[in-house]
Structure 1
Amino acid sequence: MKKLTLLVAFTMLLQLAFAGGLLTNYNQSAQYVRMLSRNAALEIDAVFYNPAGLVKMEDGWHFAFYSQTIFQNREVNTEFPLLNDGYYKGETTVPVFPDLYAVYKKDKWAFSLGLGPVGGGGTSTFDRGLPSFEIPISKAVPALAGLSQINPALGVTGYSADLAFDGSSTYWGIQVGATYAINEIFSVYGGVRVMPSTNAYKGSITNVMLEAGGQMNPAPAWLTGASATVSGIAGQASEGANIMYGTAATMQPVIDAGGGGFTLAQLEGAGYIDAATRAQVEGGLLYIGVPSEQIDMMNLSQVQGTYNAAGDELTTTVAILNGTAQTLEATSGAMEDREVDTKQKGLGFTPIIGINISPNDDWNIGLKYEHKTSLTLKNETKVDDLGLFPDGAEGSYDVPGIFTAGVGYRGIDKFELQLSYNIYFDKGVDYGYNVRYSSVGQQVHRDIDKNYFELGLGIQYNITDNFALSVGGLISENGVSPEYQSDFSYSNSSKTLAGGFMWKITDRLTFDFGVLNTFYIDDTVEFTDPDVGKYKEHYAKTTFDVAAGLSYSIF
């Protein structure tokens, strides 16, 4: 049986992105959570969404702090036929998801600072593990069922195991930059985001049990005992082979003397063998399954050939049994408790450029391009029973480039509209190989068919100068291929609805509050396993987000 291992599963990012592309969090302010469209923003959260528009703010200092509480459930339902239960649920709760912004605006210049988790930001916990953990264990049942042919008490009919996995991923973004107003219409931005990043993985496979003889038994000890039992049977078979070969050898002098063509009865009558010898030889033939009527007709050469053939068969059986015993012993080691506890840390840099176009007071257009982030993470490993994370080893975890565009319109009395478009250049990033295929010795690349995009519309209704309500809608469509999806890392296209309010407490202090709910489209992928053939796996997800925050200006 193959060694139980998570293979490259742990190295796959768990995609804890909550609103955005495959790896990117785009939910970076309470205004976004209540509108879902901020790419043409001219308020302080433009530090992230439209930094080239910051020169439209009043001269002075501007600060903002927002926090979100996020709940996400991930459901994997696999039809792999050998599992006890194919349903797995992972829960992610992020109590605090902070964003901090600061802007200093003076005449044609604006200098800005932003801090927030641009990727990840939470821990996903799977109390039952994932199919990639359990499938190798489930295969033990059919793989060991044949032991019942050796000894009925050794027949394996079921299994159980305690599986657990926690994966967290946080990519902080520290963004600094400068904005310059070329004239009243055009302004430009240049900046960089420093991205200190950490992935952490804790996983365990413990208490693996095998059901045999109607009882659940600790797998390592039971397999070791089964190995000893099979080895004992192999020893008995070896002794039997020696007896067969030895008995055949005693017949050779009689055959050499010309007695090979005579039956046992004729040899006894001629005095070549005595009655005891004849009875012993016939008893051996009966034991190995030769009918008595056939024995009466066999000559000595045929009897010798039958004994040698039986010895050969037992010798083959001995080899098979010894091989089985060795496999059981090796499997016993693979069924022992395993644990992984590691972190991966690194630092990346993202150059950012932007342009803002304000043809008049009613219209505003924001454009931004974030370059691809080259990111290398280094292992800091505490426990690695599976040999997956050599301490100090490095791996690539690049984040795709992003182009964003937004159009804002304020020409309708008391209404503000924003339309936003994002495209994530996922085809420019190598997402590695699919863990599900890797676990069965295949290499299938996690291909991207087309780049991920989002289209959002936000509407704000200004009830008074100090209070406004808003709603928003967002459509997201991923471009992943079926080969991309696995239980560890999958993406679902989605639709999101949002709402909230803005309360301008004073001329300097503003409070924003928003909620959103994302409705993901379930996805189904078909896998082919070399042992069981084709089966389907279903992926689902839900996200609910509550955000609030304050912004303050010093004019």
Structure 2
Amino acid sequence: MKKFLLIGAATLIVSNSTFAGDYLTNTNQHAAFLRMAARGASIDVDGVYSNPAGLAFLQKDGFHLSLTGQSAYQTREIAATTGLWTLDGKETTQNYKGTASAPFIPSFHGVYKDGNWAVSASFAITGGGGKASFDNGLPMFNSLAIGGIYKNEQLAGLIGKPVTPNMYDINTAMDGKQYIYGVQLGLSYRINDWLSVYAGGRMNYVKSGYEGYLKAQLKQDFGGTQLMNLALDCEQTGWGVTPIIGADVKLGKWNLAAKYEIKTNLNIENKTNTLDAPGVPEEVLKPYADGEQTPSDIPAFLSVAAGYEILHNLRASVEYHFFDDKHAGMLNDRQKTLKHGTHEYLAGIEWDIIKELTISGGFQKTNYGLSNDFQTDTSFYCSSYSLGFGARVNFNESWSIDVAYFWTNYDDYTKTTESYNNTGVKGTDVYSRTNKIFGLSLNYHF
């Protein structure tokens, strides 16, 4: 039973992103994305991430710089229904809520354009981006503890009857965090009046960790004996390089663009401060011991987009994303349980009301290839749709700002198993999430 608890805690090495995009990829790197979503055909400074090949078509030579700050707030909730909570023959539901917040996430985009050439660089949180805290623990830990205590024949003999949940208290909590910092550098070249290309790369540095404990103790009426005391505190780091290529085609009022990020081979290494699990075999502890490495690849990512100038002051765009998750290594080959990679569909429109003001709105639909075996309490995802809106304010020829709000509505995911967390008792988890992001970008050209 302790073995299952430890393995469950260690799954926190998988990211729970607070951003738009895939499991380990953030696609919102600029407030222009938040206000319009479909920016894959953008010819602007935010194209450093969304459409780097298009930078060669920027109208003005010189430096184009942008500094962005975002605030992301998310909740994760699990409604756990099983007969384990009381062991009296009745099913009851316990609700667990985790909060994740990232009050300030900075990013920087910069371009220098000279004729047909453009050199670009960026720094951003390219994956993860927050900390999730479940102050009352997680159902997977509580259910395993309850099941293990109930099946402890030695303890039952000492008490004179099986130990049920009304006879003891459980105190537990769990925190997990992950940040993937990305530094990108690349070169764009305009081959002719209608075609440009891009080649570059991104250095990714991962800093993540998880910390949790579970303590179970008999109530004083039954002797006050400590039944269980587990603790896990681990920090992880790793790095990998993402090669990136892109192309942009301008055909009259149309702009067509594509970007492909090659899979990033990435291992994260443990720095374990606490691994307290008495009696657990060494082969079980080894993957989570100090110095051990775990695969956490960033999947290949394809973006294709089309933008169209409806009027001189009205533009629309559509975009498609594909993340090849099933070929990106995860802990215990977890990626193989996915039904398919992630598909995203985006659309956006923007309108220049006056020279000084542009307003815009966007839509994004995210479809994960989820399965029951992929979903865990410590790392679960829900397909969703998102809406974004905002504005750009042009102060003069050099200065402008983007302001935006991005809200996501998630589909609940229901997971029912005949043996809830390997306890032999039927149970159901309903996973749900909420998410909202505010963004502000300051843009400067000279």
TM-score, normalized by length of structure 2?
A: 0.90
The within-5 A match list for 1:73-92 is: 73-83=75-85, 86-92=94-100
Do the aligned partners of 2:151 and 2:162 also contact (CA within 8 Å) in 1?
A: no
Structure 1 match to 2:282 = none
Q: CA deviation at 1:59?
A: 0.4
Structure 2 match to 1:307 = none
* CA distance 1:549–1:216, shift in 2 (3 Å): farther
Do the aligned partners of 1:55 and 1:110 also contact (CA within 8 Å) in 2?
A: yes
Alignment partner of 1:120 is 2:153? no
Structure 1 match to 2:316 = 417
Structure 2 match to 1:7 = 7
After TM superposition, the structure 1 stretch with the greater mean CA deviation from structure 2, 189-198 or 123-132, is: 123-132
* AA matched with 1:550: L
Find the partner of 2:254 among 350, 360, 363: 363
Do the aligned partners of 2:18 and 2:74 also contact (CA within 8 Å) in 1?
A: no
* AA matched with 2:213: S
Structure 2 match to 1:95 = 103
State the distance in 2 between where 1:211 and 1:185 align. 76
Name the structure with the higher strand share: 2
Alignment partner of 1:466 is 2:365? no
Structure 2 match to 1:405 = 304
Q: CA deviation at 1:169?
A: 0.5
- Where 1:47 maps in the other structure, the secondary structure is helix
Name the structure with the higher helix share: 1
Give aligned pairs, total: 427
Do the aligned partners of 1:77 and 1:539 also contact (CA within 8 Å) in 2?
A: yes
The within-5 A match list for 1:304-383 is: 332=227, 335-336=228-229, 338-360=230-252, 362-383=253-274
Alignment partner of 1:32 is 2:41? no
Q: CA deviation at 1:159?
A: 2.8
Do the aligned partners of 2:375 and 2:381 also contact (CA within 8 Å) in 1?
A: yes
* AA matched with 1:198: K
State the distance in 2 between where 1:382 and 1:198 align. 15
Alignment partner of 1:521 is 2:411? yes
Do the aligned partners of 1:91 and 1:125 also contact (CA within 8 Å) in 2?
A: yes
- Where 2:326 maps in the other structure, the secondary structure is helix
Do the aligned partners of 1:446 and 1:481 also contact (CA within 8 Å) in 2?
A: no
CA RMSD of aligned residues (A): 2.2
* AA matched with 2:304: A
* AA matched with 1:517: W
Do the aligned partners of 2:295 and 2:330 also contact (CA within 8 Å) in 1?
A: no
- Where 1:373 maps in the other structure, the secondary structure is coil
Structure 2 match to 1:538 = 430
Do the aligned partners of 2:295 and 2:331 also contact (CA within 8 Å) in 1?
A: no
Q: CA deviation at 1:96?
A: 0.8
Do the aligned partners of 2:18 and 2:72 also contact (CA within 8 Å) in 1?
A: no
State the distance in 2 between where 1:217 and 1:551 align. 66
Q: CA deviation at 1:482?
A: 2.2
Structure 2 match to 1:47 = 48
* CA distance 1:433–1:88, shift in 2 (3 Å): farther
Structure 2: where are the runs of 5+ without partners? 87-92, 278-284
Alignment partner of 1:111 is 2:123? no
Structure 1 match to 2:191 = 182
The within-5 A match list for 1:123-522 is: 123-140=131-148, 142-143=150-151, 152=160, 156=164, 157-206=166-215, 208-211=216-219, 215=221, 217-220=223-226, 332=227, 335-336=228-229, 338-360=230-252, 362-386=253-277, 387=285, 389-433=288-332, 447-522=337-412
* CA distance 1:113–1:128, shift in 2 (3 Å): same
Q: CA deviation at 1:15?
A: 2.1
Q: CA deviation at 1:189?
A: 0.1
